[in-house]
Amino acid sequence: MSREVIASAPGKIILTGEHFVVHGAYSIAAAVNKRVRVSILEAPGDSYILAGDARSRVNNDDGRFVLVKTILRHVFEEEMKDQGVAISISSDIPAGSGLGSSAAVSVATAAAALKFAHLETSPRKIFEIALLGEKKVHGNPSGIDVETSLQGGMLLFSKNTESKPIPLNRVVHFLVVYSGKPRRTSTLIERVEIRKKQYPNFFDCLTRAASFLSLDVVDAIAAGDLPRLGALMNISQTALSWIGVSTSSIDRLIEDVAAQEVYGVKLTGAGGGGSIIALPKPDSVDALSKYMTRNYSYSFMTQIPQEGLRWEV
């Protein structure tokens, strides 16, 4: 019987600090109830990757599955020549949606590959290998997406210190809506770098403010103060607009959702399209979910916390 290893990892949302986290600010992220599943199975012949209708040999530099190939080649090195494997990827998360699709693929692939190769599978080792894939496609990621997908729950993250789990004394619901407009994280990171060079002093002020905002969010969550949490999300959106990562279509989507029974709403992730998140009032969760399902092709309600990396086989 062929040996198989299967791992799955969740997508994520960011509540505060996206982009500024790349420059040292605190940021808060949480895993969501949409996952990526990666299977590695012994197979005869050349090793290949399969996702939907797309297929590519691991040793073929055809521009497809670059992230996955980077991780596999690093983990297996010469072993790839001696043993064929079939890597199958399935995902609930749209690519380019700002919901951590690539990080979830990176984490699940790194975990499955390390375990298949009988190598160390500690969280730190999986993070290290997964981040190699993220850097290959995103250039200079902070690591927050990988860390959140790996650990699950809700995290206070800084690239300069260890992430800290944020304890939740109650389940919190977030609405997630994908705009239908994909974007490239690396492009948005470069756009923010240009903005920083244009206005370095005020950008530094906003970076420091993002840290204070994230710490205020931790306090609001600890107190169970949802109106305050929503207000802080709204403030975060104004900073993201100033650095140029919101768009007219995202602004219109935010305006529509803000008219519903929510405490706060903002873009999540890199921006430039992608997705928004909203914090619904507790008694409006069901009605809001139905409204969004009727009016938008991809939306869902997620409870926080959610599990991180999971071994399926």
Flag the least confident range among 88-92, 187-191, 192-196, 254-258: 187-191
Closest CA to 151 of 178, 120, 130: 130
Give residue-wise pLDDT tens across range 7-25. 999 999 999 999 999 999 9
Strand, helix or coil for residue 217: helix
Give residue-wise pLDDT tens across range 188-198. 888 899 999 99
Single-letter code of the amino acid located at 70: T
Fold classified for 172-304:
Alpha-Beta Plaits (3.30.70)
What whole-number percentage of the chain has pLDDT above 90? 83
| Burial classification of residue 259, based on how many CB atoms lie within 10 Å of its CB (0-12 exposed, 13-18 middle, 19 or more buried) | exposed
E strands within 58-146? 85-91
Q: Has 251 been annotated as catalytic?
A: no
Predicted local confidence at residue 30, as pLDDT: 98
- The boundaries of every CATH 3.30.70.890 domain in the chain are 172-304
Q: What is the mean pLDDT of residues 22-50?
A: 94
- The boundaries of every CATH 3.30.230.10 domain in the chain are 4-166
Q: Out of 3.30.230.10, 3.40.470.10, 3.30.70.660, 3.90.650.10, which CATH number does the structure's domain 4-166 have?
A: 3.30.230.10
Catalytic residue among 82, 145, 256, 286: 145
Query: Given pLDDT bands bounded at 50, 70 and 90, which one contains residue 78?
Result: low
| Whether residue 44 has pLDDT greater than 90 | no
